[in-house]
Amino acid sequence: MNQELKKIIELAQIDAEIDSFGPKEESLKSELNKLVEKSNGIKAKVEELNDEAKECKFKANKHDAHLKELSAKLADISKKSATLKTEREIKALQIEEEIAREQVAFANEEISRLDNVEHSKKEEAKKLEESLAEISEQIKSFEASLAGDLKELEGSKKEVYAKKDKLVFEINPKVYSFYQKIKRWAGSTTVVPVVGKACMGCNIQITDNDYRKVIRSEEIITCPNCGRILYLGETEAENG
């Protein structure tokens, strides 16, 4: 086999290994990312509940302030009632008192309702914070176990990249440039085997003449249909 072709096949295998590092790292981090996402969701919900509880407290305080105003108003009405003489004045003051008492009743009901809602929101937030603490511990545990796996993966990366650098140095620059040109569009299928006289990149059969050239492997042959670099598949080589 042509030595440059042999090196290009090896380079393609190394590049495929490099391409696999990303998915491997994502796979390792997937469970941790799910936990972090869950944790962030709970934190957002806790913040939302606390904001809602504060809003309830704010509204209850407004009603409480209104109650004080109504209390002062009722006290004023009580003083006025002793000085009134006409039935019309007395009737008007009674209506004003009834309205004020209805407002007092409504304000008390709203304060009670808002206090209950505030308590409910705080309780829900408290339970979520407890679950958040558990998730935080799980995240710490995952990060600790993941650190070793990521360190090992990083070591593998360095080894493979060093191997690639060494191989690229040995490859004819023109051949490497040709390989890179195809790789820009073909990606991990830049170099493909021929099986059953068909290119495994585009699955189209090549001519007998091109197939003989692939068998001889005296030079770098590309698929006339898709342009990928071809080599003889193991099965074909064994049968040949």
pLDDT digits (tens, 9 = 90+) for 59-90: 999 999 999 999 999 999 888 888 877 888 88
Fold of 20-171: Helix Hairpins (1.10.287)
Q: What is the pLDDT of residue 81?
A: 83
DSSP conformation letters of the chain: --HHHHHHHHHHHHHHHHHHHHHHHHHHHHHHHHHHHHHHHHHHHHHHHHHHHHHHHHHHHHHHHHHHHHHHHHHHHHHHHTT--SHHHHHHHHHHHHHHHHHHHHHHHHHHHHHHHHHHHHHHHHHHHHHHHHHHHHHHHHHHHHHHHHHHHHHHHHHHHHHHHHHHHHS-HHHHHHHHHHHHHHGGGSEEEEETTEETTT--BPPHHHHHHHHHTSS-EE-TTT--EEEE-HHHHHH-
Looking at the chain, which residues constitute the CATH 1.10.287.1490 domain(s)? 20-171
CB 189 within 8 A of CB 13: no
φ, ψ at 203 (rounded to 5°): 65, 25
Quote the pLDDT of residue 234: 72
Q: Give the Cα separation of 205 and 223 in Å (integer).
A: 9
Question: What's the confidence (pLDDT) of residue 79?
Answer: 87
Provide the pLDDT for residue 238: 52
φ, ψ dihedrals at 229, nearest 5°: -80, 135
Give this prediction's pTM: 0.62
Written as tens digits, the pLDDT of the chain (240 aa) is 789 999 999 999 999 999 999 999 999 889 889 999 999 999 999 999 999 999 999 999 999 999 999 999 999 988 888 887 788 888 998 999 999 999 999 999 999 999 999 999 999 999 999 999 999 999 998 888 889 889 999 999 999 999 999 999 999 999 999 999 999 999 999 999 999 899 999 999 999 999 999 999 889 999 999 999 999 987 655 555
pLDDT at 235: 63
pLDDT of residue 82: 80
- Please give the Cα distance from 133 to 127 (Å, whole number): 10
